[in-house]
Amino acid sequence: MSVISSSLRKEYTQSKLMETDLEPNPFDQFHKWFNDAVSAELPLPNAMTLATVKQDQTPVARVVLLKELDQRGFVFYTNYQSAKAEELEYQNKASLVFWWISQERQVRIEGFTEKVTESESEAYFATRPRESQLSAWASDQSKPVSGRPELETKMTEMRSNFSDQSVPKPKEWGGYRLIPSFFEFWQGREDRLHDRICYLMDSDQWKIQRLSP
């Protein structure tokens, strides 16, 4: 068994998270940290790990991009026939993780998912770059392909099919909204005595609680 070098260990010294610093609403606290990540010009601050569960109870995780956020929840888009969509159809509970490494911050979110409305999906699809719109038509997301040439051939076909018109949204493409019931804000601290503060939904109100690191 190989041992990861202890030289990779580092102290977390960037900041702290105290109860007096918190917003009463976790969405507002998230916006505060997210805006810090954007202002720091971190690469892809909207990248988030989405964890789902297969029917055989195998947990699955992958990185997706946050595209919309309001007081209802966190929205991402995908193909409704993809593996993640099949998993969410089986079990609509899911979790998200944001990791902003240079700020030594992590946010973990748990909740349930629902599809966004067709009009919301249409509106977002219209803002995508044309090539991204075409790839939504060219890709049978999560399905096996013979190789890269097959994908490129399909993309060429889509460019030809829609050469003289705007690209409509495929019927099987759309968004999901994760509606949170739990947030955990983690701030790295010295000596591994990290700050972990969570928000739990309790009787339609958010309850704030500190956790041991």
pLDDT of residue 5: 65
**Does residue 26 fall inside a structural domain?**
yes
Would you say residue 132 lies in a domain? no
Which DSSP letter does residue 19 get?
Answer: G
Contacts of 13 (CB under 8 A, 6+ apart): 104, 188, 190
Q: What is the pLDDT of residue 18?
A: 95
What is residue 142's predicted lDDT score, i.e. its pLDDT?
Answer: 87
Model pLDDT, residue 33: 98
Which member of 105, 192, 196, 210 is catalytic? 192
Tell me 168's DSSP state: P
CA 166 to chain centre: 28
Centroid of chain to Cα 83: 16
Segment-wise mean pLDDT, segments of 10 residues, the chain, 213 residues: 70 88 97 97 97 97 97 97 97 98 96 98 97 95 92 95 95 98 96 96 94 96
CATH number at residue 61: 2.30.110.10
Domain count, the chain: 1
| Helices of type H across the chain | 26-39, 83-90, 118-127, 130-138, 148-161
pTM of the model: 0.91
**Domain that residue 80 falls in:** 11-125+172-211
Give the model's pLDDT for residue 6.
67
What was the pLDDT predicted at 135?
95
118: how many CB neighbours lie within 10 A of its CB?
Answer: 12
Whether residue 160 is contained in a domain is answered as no
Q: Do residues 88 and 78 touch, judged by C-beta distance below 8 A?
A: no
Alpha-carbon distance of 92 to 196, in angstroms, equals: 26
Q: Is 159 tagged catalytic? A: no
Q: What confidence score (pLDDT) does residue 56 get?
A: 96
Q: Terminal CA-to-CA distance of the chain, rounded, Å?
A: 28
Q: Tokens at residue 16, please?
A: 């702290």
Residue 139 maps to a domain: no
